Amino acid sequence: MSVLIVGSIALDDIKTPVEEHPNLLGGSASYAAVAAAYFSPVNFVGIVGEDFPKEHIELLRSRRIDLEGLQIVPGKTFRWSGEYMWDMNTRETRSVALNVFEHFTPTLPSNYKSTPFVLLANIAPDLQHHVLDQVVKPRFVIADTMDLWINIAKESLIRLLSRIDLLILNDGEARQLTNQTNLVKAAKSILALGPKYVAIKKGEHGCLLFGAGGEFFSCPAYPLEDIHDPTGAGDTFAGGLAGILARESDSETIDFDALRRAVVFGTVLASFNVEAFSLERLKTVDAAQIEDRSRLLRLMSQFEFA
């Protein structure tokens, strides 16, 4: 089955303590789509300017990513510049230029509207609502968010929660949204607002998955010696999760076991993503490498007493 992915597409300038690279492919939709396409076809919706490099379009097209929903309009593509500190967890935004993304209105091609799995990547909640107003009876809807929307569009975000099945956010955002310092309490508060599930990302400490029926799963992060660029790791996680759900779902109901498996595969894709700048590592990883790493991660996340 296919996944509909709607989000931002950007050109990034990224600096770390040891490297700096300009004009990289970025944006929430870009990372999520390439990750999801390892497992299922993707219907892709976003906007770029006339300056968007053709090589990036060819990369997306070379995967199972349908670009009918890609808007190419006069003007410049959304640009973001950021710098990471030594711990690779602390990041400072150096500059943001929304450009054509400032006036982005997601318009779904008619054949996208019945896509069974929907990933609302990190864009304004009002735009996420606009997408849901166009889709027809989706089987499973996932939404990602960030601290900016909690600050400036919290009411719209809260209204969105009753329209989705899974919310993805990080630990700081969960605390910010709920005013709860304890993540278990924060998850319960979010679930009370409407979604069936919530996934709380904890960076190098993995991910916590909660269900409205009291279900709980803790997935560790895959241990890495070298991290080159954390940009897009959360978007890659969301895309991998959505893609594996679409590939392996054979019933009308997505249960907690399916989501646990999806969290593992999303975590694995994110671990590959941070091994190189932009999407360079995701260009080269293959199915055998994904399966090997996911098998090891599954062994790490469960044990039995002797």
Are 111 and 90 in contact by the 8 Å Cβ rule? The answer is no
**pLDDT 10s per residue in the chain (306 long)?**
899 999 999 999 999 998 999 999 999 999 999 999 999 999 999 999 999 999 999 999 999 899 999 999 999 999 999 999 988 878 899 999 999 999 999 999 999 999 999 999 999 999 999 999 999 999 999 999 999 999 999 999 999 999 999 999 999 999 999 999 999 999 999 999 999 999 999 988 999 999 999 999 999 999 998 899 999 999 999 999 999 999 988 767 789 999 999 999 999 999 999 999 999 999 999 999 999 999 998 887 765 444
Extract the tokens encoding 45: 């919706």
Asked if 217 and 88 touch (Cβ cutoff 8 Å), the reply is no
Query: Among all chains, which residue has been given the structure tokens 């490297």?
Result: 19
Domain ranges of the chain: 3-300
Q: C-alpha 115: how far from its chain's center?
A: 17
pTM: 0.95
CATH number listed for the domain at residues 3-300: 3.40.1190.20
Per-residue DSSP letter, 301: T
Tokens matching residue 92: 């400072």
- Match 């941070």 to its residue by tokens: 274
